[in-house]
Structure 1
Amino acid sequence: MNRTLLSDNQLRTLHGRLGYWVVFSCAFIAFAVAFVLPFVWMLLGAMKSAPELAHVPPTILPEQWHPETYSDAWSFMELAKYFGNTVMIAGGAWLVQLAVDVPAAYALSKLRPVLGNWILGLMLATLMLPASALLVPTYLTITDVPVVHTNMINQPGAIWLPAAANAFNIYLLKRFFDQVPGELIEAATIDGAGRITTMVRVVLPLSRPILAVVSIFAIVAAWKDFIWPLLVLPDPGAQTLSVALNRFAPDTPINLLLAGLVLASIPMVAVFLVFQRQILAGLTAGSLKG
């Protein structure tokens, strides 16, 4: 039996159904306005002229439509180069995170190392720290990487390396791996499969939903990050979209800047719309059917 604010008997009454739909509609509209309105305003604002954007009170729809603003922004700010930089950095961060987080989560879930729960607890404790508190030690590490003693400033590795061990993604993966039946692991071991083979051929094919979620989280985080790329990529030719748009802001007409922001947002919005079912399936996956 599901526990909700309204019982089944209350929902069968006219007042219950009316109250439910009123509250649901108000909440839906409020969240839609809060999340969609800024993007719509940015989308429409980019098609206004710069003087119209400065008009008080502001206009809702453009008095004169200027869709060519998007192509002007693309060429004026040379966004193709920065899109390429961002795709390379986001793709590399995704691959590095999977290469580190998947084996770590598998080891904590199925190999049960000594002090594994303590290790997981220490990982999760890092989520309690504000990101700003880690900027200085992480920056010092990047400027002189231990063991190899190399400076990674202005290199993609300066973003890939700190993103490698993500405690939240490791936790998500471990919780999912915990639901994989132990009988499958034992059967693979009896058939002669090693630990790596078992992970690759048995566990990972069953873990596609959570792998999709972790992949999307990794790509979106790398795509939208601003502070860290600003610190470690001072060379304009190596910068990501978020940093480049901020650099262009003082000397760029506001309508062109808004068009650039819209263009930078479209890939991540498209990713969510295409993979929203996989995201929800991965986050709610709690068991496997035999």
Structure 2
Amino acid sequence: MASNETATRTLIATARLNRPAARRIYWAIVIVVVIVFSLAFLGPLYWMVTGGLKSAHEIAQIPPTLFPKHPGLENYSDAWAQLSLGRLILNTLYYALGALAFQLVLDIGAAFAFSKLRPLFGNIVLGMMLATLMIPSTVLIIPQYVTVIDLPIFHWHMLDSPWAIWLPAVTNAFNIFLLKRFFDSIPSDLLAAAAIDGAGPLRQLWSIILPMSRPIIGVISIFSVTAVWKDFLWPLLVEPSPENRTVNVGLYAFSQGITQNVLVAGAVIAALPTIAFFLVFQRNIMSGLTTGSLKG
């Protein structure tokens, strides 16, 4: 009996929730909290979508209108044509998927080594990598830019090339740490049984670790793609040519010559690929929330 009560215990006792007055107060608080957070997250998105349907005069009106008076889709077609969004989105998609591919290969390999192979001084190296998370990203802009201009040892000049975005994206200590913590939760007995059957480390990684790690790989994929997609300062520095611009840099470059409603419509179009990417991996992320909660 006591275990059942403990299992269902919440912040508010069940006996109090059974009272009509307490139940009304409880649900009123829940509804208010849900509405406030929904407005905080969906409000800017709603303004952006409806702003792309307004005229140039209406979008600059103060106070702003809640609904477009004469909604139309011509702003979106104008934004696609005037901003060259097709090329900008393809450039950004190329950079984002390339960074994702390098991160999945190198970060998964590093996390597997730290978690299961346990190299000499592995914990010290991992600690030094995690220490870099304490350094503000803006502090690293200058040394990274100097490195991109003249890569040490090889002396490669990587400005206006995708490598200027791909290589810095690979050095992500946070993703390596997330992958390592997930790999730590996979029983080592499975790898030992595979080793008895003759499977080497690469075979164990491919046949055992990766199939069980789809939830965390989905999370890492979203982090990687959105980090490149929303970045502005670094692509502005390392991709100065107009034909190599990312979508954010392109929107900024053309922002002075077009009306605000067309620019907002362009921002909506630029956000659609990341939303679609999230929806593709949503199932893996939701399944990751319950990973390890079932007892066999």
Q: Could you say which TM-score interval applies, normalised by the shorter chain?
A: over 0.9
Q: Which residue of 97, 108, 113 corresponds with 2:114?
A: 108
Are the equivalent residues in 2 in contact too, given 1:188–1:198 (CA < 8 A)? yes
Structure 1 residues 112, 8: closer, same or farther in 2, change over 3 A?
A: farther
Letter of the structure 1 residue corresponding to residue 106 of structure 2: V
Structure 2 unaligned blocks of 5 or more: 1-5
> CA contact under 8 A between 1:179 and 1:288: conserved in structure 2?
no
Aligned to 1:253: 259
Q: What residue in structure 1 maps to residue 64 of structure 2?
A: 58
Q: Distance in 2 between matches of 1:287 and 1:111?
A: 26
Aligned to 1:23: 29
- How far, CA to CA, are the matches of 1:13 and 1:117 in structure 2? 54
In the alignment of these two chains, the number of paired residues is 290
Q: In structure 2, give the amino acid aligned to 1:184.
A: L
Amino acid corresponding to residue 99 of structure 1 in structure 2 = V
SS at match of 1:251: coil
Amino acid corresponding to residue 88 of structure 1 in structure 2: Y
Aligned-pair distance for 1:288? 7.2
* CA distance, structure 2, for counterparts of residue 120 and residue 165 of structure 1: 12
State whether residues 82 and 244 of structure 1, in contact with CA within 8 Å, keep that contact through their aligned partners in structure 2: yes
Please report the RMSD computed on the Cα atoms of aligned residues, expressed in angstroms. Answer: 1.7
> 1:196 maps to which residue?
202
Q: Give the alignment's TM-score, normalised by structure 1.
A: 0.94
Which residue of 79, 85, 89 maps to 1:79? Answer: 85
Other structure's SS at 2:199 match:
coil
Mind listing any 5+ residue stretches in structure 1 that lack a counterpart?
none
For the structure 1 residues 289 and 101, does the alpha-carbon distance in structure 2 shift closer, same or farther, using more than 3 Å as the test? farther
- Corresponding position: 1:88 with 2:85: no
- Alignment partner of 1:214 out of 220, 223, 237: 220
- 2: CA distance, partners of 1:153 / 1:9: 66
Query: Retained in 2: the 8 A contact 1:249–1:257?
Result: yes
**Normalising to structure 2: TM-score of the pair?**
0.92
| Contact kept? 1:210, 1:283, Cα under 8 Å | no
Match of 1:126 in 2: 132
1:242 alignment partner in structure 2: 248
Given residue 271 of structure 1, which amino acid in structure 2 is its aligned partner?
A: F
Separation in structure 2 between the aligned mates of residue 23 and residue 53 of structure 1, nearest angstrom: 34
Q: What is the CA-CA distance between 1:283 and the residue it aligns to? A: 5.2
Q: Structure 1 residues 120, 74: CA separation in 2 closer, same or farther (over 3 Å shift)?
A: same
Matched residues, percent identical?
49
- Alignment-mate amino acid for residue 36 of structure 1: L
